[in-house]
A and B are shown apart, each in its own frame.
Chain A
Amino acid sequence: MKPLQRKLLRELLRLKGQMLAVAAVVACGISVFVSMSSVQYSLEASRARYYSKYRFADVFMQVKRAPEFYLETVRSIAGVASVNSRIVADVTLDVPGLDEPATGRLVSIPEYRTPVLNDLFIKSGRYIDPGKPEEVVVSKPFLEANKLAPGDHITAVINGRKKELLIVGMGLSPEYIYEVQPGAFFPDKRRFGVIWMSRRALESAFDMSGAFNDLSLTLAHGVSEKDVLLQLDNLFTRYGSLGAYGRSEQLSDRFIADEIKQVGIQITFLPAIFLAVAVFLLNIVLRRLVATQRDQIAVLKAIGYSNEDVALHYLGFAMIPTAVGSVVGTALGAWLGRGMMNIYADFYNFAELVYTFRFENVALAVLLSFAAALVGALGAVRKAVLLPPAEAMRPDSPVLYKPGFLDRASLRKRVPVSLRIIVRNLERRPWKASISVLMISLAVAILIAGRYTYDSVDRMIQVEFAEKHREDVTLIFNDPKPPSVVYTIASLSGVLEHEYYRDEPVRMRFGHRFRRLSIKGLQSAEGLQRLVDKNGRHFSLPADGIILTSALADILGVRPGDRLQLEFLQGRQLHREVLVSAVIDEILGLSASMNLAQLNTLAGDGGVLNAAYLRIDQSKAGPLYTSLKKMPGVAGMMMLKALKESFEELIAQSMTTSTFILTSFACVLAFAVVYNGARISLSERARELSSLRVLGMSKGEVSFILLGEQALLTLCAIPVGFMIGIALSALLAHALSSELYRLPLVFTAYNFLFAFTVIVMVSVVSGLAVQKRLSSLDLVEVLKTRE
């Protein structure tokens, strides 16, 4: 090993605390980048593989009932590659061990196994046998949540008749990677499952022989989806089509696409912060190193080392910790990525979710880190190179201090000397002080933003499950019911309050923009169901006009006061116009609500109801559920409490994990900045502090001067960090919001208190670490050597 290399290694060891801090910051940045980008790639690749292997359709359509021979017409549409018709129906299920009825989505499959669109992946068990109509394959999450397995039985109420079904297989389909009940937003694995059943069995059960009610198709490469959708709509409107739609409106795909996008956002912002801090740390550490080694640099040059030798030598101080950070970060990132994929595997039902660790991502991350290290080291290395050797041999000229803020006559007497030293030091290099404050505040900001998502989801739960919905149960009817259904429901024992709504599919049009959606016709917005925006503000239901969520209004480009075209897709299929009376910034989804009476008038029929909200007497819940299970008109039931619990359980794990990771990383960041700041202060002022000790100051008094500066910087950084944290959260809220949901911007006092406590604790720990060094300072030695 060459002497200069030996010098480098020994001095790196001497500076190990500071260098490890730099390496840790680099490691955090790289691990986030590596894990997130690997996760993003793995999700994308798994989805693509799943879709192609199991032939996920490009276009979907539900109709009331269309003749099978129409498929030929569909096949003849230019650009259609393949077509698959099915019978799909929602029924209530009697699941062993579950009091309340669950909802089963029956999906037809060929009696003899042939490749079809949205094909089945049999995870365990087997495919159904021909000629055995009772055999079914059931979705994996539902079976697992209910502790059922192939061989068990399950009872379905099909067209009013109880039918015993034999589970022969556990399956998954690309159509239900995110498996939720229609109308619901969050999965409730116990109470909603997909059941694949022989087409023949479903034909006879629903009187659908020679007909279908669900169509999926794939398109040839390069075909305009819009044109095909239009032709399908023209063909099937008379068969009660609710409008054809592409993958972007398919709920499951939409969720995954959004998830992938969100992961992508996190790839950019967190690593960028860590790299910025690494640049800053390397800058201050190396500048100080070059300053303390002025005479050594002079000697090296005097001896005959070239500027390149000197530059490379000092670059080494940046590159080695970066290399260590890269190795650790890559390993940590690989591990974190795997952990995140396990969480995703709980969330999403992939046939196989393969974690692919991509070395391209690692290479990019490492390259970026080294570029950052170079930027950080550049100033100091430049200084070392430009230092004229003759000048370098002379000690650095003494720093020029000027009277500052605390030297004003009025303050002078009141402020102790030690405090004056602290303030003057900060005043002397305002830029360095400001950047230090900025770096510590970034750590505070990460803490705030990390907790923010937690609080935001909390608010989401509060608004969705407590303010907007007050019902216990939502009953979904299998067909639109006449208003007289109210009497049937009211007569059930145990129903305390009941409220109904109409769910009417329409195509909304404003100018050239349109969207296919269901309008919710509400009886009231003050009863069980309410209109509440993401900030908890309540809206009342107007007598005239429609209320849109802001995401929907944005898509259509409408504002309150505009008139919206409605094309009813069912019944008389009237075209109407309605006033947009309000736009409400809701948390979830795209939705439109209006007064039930007005909706009935616009639809031009006597009025129908699609679902009921019930508040029930919990002491009579058991018998009530039993009678609901028997009701032929009920397609499904949603339990608000169960939805809430399943959502909380689902979110809790990923939220806790990500908050924990962000908090740890923010601690590393804060520690690295505060510790390095104090170490550099100590190095710069060892002589001064030793002189003060020699003059009779106690260790405590000297520590106060050294650590007081860091404490002051930290205290300044906290409010700045709060503000950056709020801005960062707002940015996150904006970036992470999609058509499906919008994160409300809420901050609890606890969030700020938590960030404050963590930063203060980290600062105290790093302060203590430096104080230990200060106490062991050899006074005589320090004063004897030349600065």
Chain B
Amino acid sequence: MSDNPVGNGHAPAVLKISDLSKSYIMGEIRVDALKHISLDFYSGELAVLLGASGSGKSTLINIIGGLDTPSSGSLFFHGREITAATETELTAYRRRSIGFVFQFYNLISSLSALENVQLVTEIAENPMPPEEALKLVGLAHRLNHFPAQLSGGEQQRVAIARAVAKRPELLLCDEPTGALDFQTGKLVLDVIEKVNRELGTTTLIITHNASIAGMADRVVRLSSGEVSEDRRNLTRLSPSELLW
């Protein structure tokens, strides 16, 4: 357990990050994207990771999601060390436990909304029916529309439905509103908040937009690869109350 002051003490830590560093070489320059990060995340928590571009937040979320590996340090998910997992184990980890939402939706353009969600429910162990996932994000009426026929906000909601349909323990959202306007962004955040509240999914949202922080249980700020702030909000605002 880290000496993090924000632990809620009741729920066990779902995710335990200790002394995690990541550096890579870009051209001739060595970039230290993450420097000795130690953080714990707890079940049901909605955390916002804030940081400017280049602060290392995307790298962190990619490592948490098993898409990338750290240079040093360790990451435990329910006590199992993810950083020591093989490629096959990482695939299984992503398949069972992680839901991803990306900034650019990354829907498969040749598949309809429903089929994009089925992409996940096909391979997940105990998924919710894809229609139900789409209903959860308010798209029950757009099941058979292709990505090109949906607005940006709708596409992002399909992406969220796709991420949560497998009932992941951890929902990782990388700039989910980055490509959306204010109103649509709020709608998307609403959906994420609803998933967190109704399904109890531990949710990490990374963003450079500080005003989103108000909807979180906990706010972690990253700058230059280090944790510069880790605080808990006394009250969670609803996304509709956010201003940016």
Residues of A within 8 A of B (CB): 2-4, 6-7, 10-11, 14, 295-296, 298-307, 309, 388-390, 393, 786
Other-chain residue from A2, A11, A388, A390 in contact with B110 (beta carbon distance below 8 A) = A11
Q: Is the CB of A14 within 8 A of B110?
A: yes
Interface pairs (8), CB distance under 8 Å: A3-B116, A6-B110, A300-B119, A302-B67, A303-B123, A309-B123, A388-B67, A390-B67
Q: Is the CB of B96 within 8 A of A299?
A: no
Which 3 residue pairs spanning A and B have beta carbons closest together? A304-B95, A390-B68, A390-B62
Given that A302-B67, A304-B95, A305-B91 are known contacts, is A393 also in contact with B106, CB under 8 Å in the complex?
Answer: yes
For B65, the chain A residues whose CB sits under 8 A away are: 302
* Residue from the set B59, B88, B94, B166 with the largest chain A CB neighbour count within 10 Å: B94
Contact flags (1/0) for B118-158 with A, using CB distance below 8 Å?
11101110000000000000000000000000000000000
> Which residues between 71 and 118 of chain B lie within 8 Å of chain A, taking CB atoms?
87-88, 91-92, 94-96, 98, 100, 102, 104, 106-108, 110-111, 115-116, 118
Closest to B115 in A: A3
Q: Is the CB of B91 within 8 A of A7?
A: no
A47 to chain B, nearest CB (A): 54
Complex: how many Å from CA A433 to CA B162?
41
A103 to chain B, nearest CB (A): 73
For A306, the chain B residues whose CB sits under 8 A away are: 88, 91
Complex: how many Å from CA A388 to CA B166?
23
Complex: how many Å from CA A296 to CA B102?
11
* Residue from the set B67, B107, B162 with the largest chain A CB neighbour count within 10 Å: B67
For B92, the chain A residues whose CB sits under 8 A away are: 304
Q: Is the CB of B104 within 8 A of A304?
A: no
Q: Is the CB of B96 within 8 A of A304?
A: yes
Q: Is the CB of A7 within 8 A of B123?
A: no
Residues of B within 8 A of A (CB): 59, 62, 65, 67-68, 87-88, 91-92, 94-96, 98, 100, 102, 104, 106-108, 110-111, 115-116, 118-120, 122-124, 162, 166
* Residue from the set B62, B65, B88, B96 with the largest chain A CB neighbour count within 10 Å: B62
Complex: how many Å from CA A390 to CA B70?
12
Q: Is the CB of B162 within 8 A of A10?
A: no
Q: Is the CB of B91 within 8 A of A307?
A: yes
A16 to chain B, nearest CB (A): 13
For B108, the chain A residues whose CB sits under 8 A away are: 3, 7, 296, 299
Closest to A293 in B: B108
A196 to chain B, nearest CB (A): 72
Complex: how many Å from CA A532 to CA B79?
93
Q: Is the CB of B124 within 8 A of A301?
A: no
For A390, the chain B residues whose CB sits under 8 A away are: 59, 62, 67-68
Other-chain residue from B88, B110, B124 in contact with A10 (beta carbon distance below 8 A) = B110
Q: Is the CB of B100 within 8 A of A299?
A: yes
Given that A388-B67, A390-B62, A390-B67 are known contacts, is A303 also in contact with B162, CB under 8 Å in the complex?
Answer: yes
For B122, the chain A residues whose CB sits under 8 A away are: 2-4
Complex: how many Å from CA A299 to CA B96?
15
Q: Is the CB of B67 within 8 A of A6?
A: no
For B119, the chain A residues whose CB sits under 8 A away are: 3-4, 300, 303
A167 to chain B, nearest CB (A): 72
Complex: how many Å from CA A390 to CA B96?
18
Q: Is the CB of A298 within 8 A of B111?
A: no
Other-chain residue from A3, A11, A296, A303 in contact with B100 (beta carbon distance below 8 A) = A303
Q: Is the CB of A307 within 8 A of B87?
A: yes
Q: Is the CB of B115 within 8 A of A6?
A: yes
Q: Is the CB of A7 within 8 A of B111?
A: yes
Complex: how many Å from CA A517 to CA B83?
85
For A301, the chain B residues whose CB sits under 8 A away are: 67, 91, 94
Q: Is the CB of B106 within 8 A of A295?
A: yes
Q: Is the CB of B91 within 8 A of A786?
A: no
Known pairs A296-B106, A298-B106, A304-B95. 15 more at Cβ < 8 A?
A: A3-B111, A3-B115, A4-B122, A298-B67, A300-B119, A301-B91, A303-B120, A304-B96, A304-B123, A305-B95, A306-B91, A307-B91, A388-B67, A390-B62, A393-B102
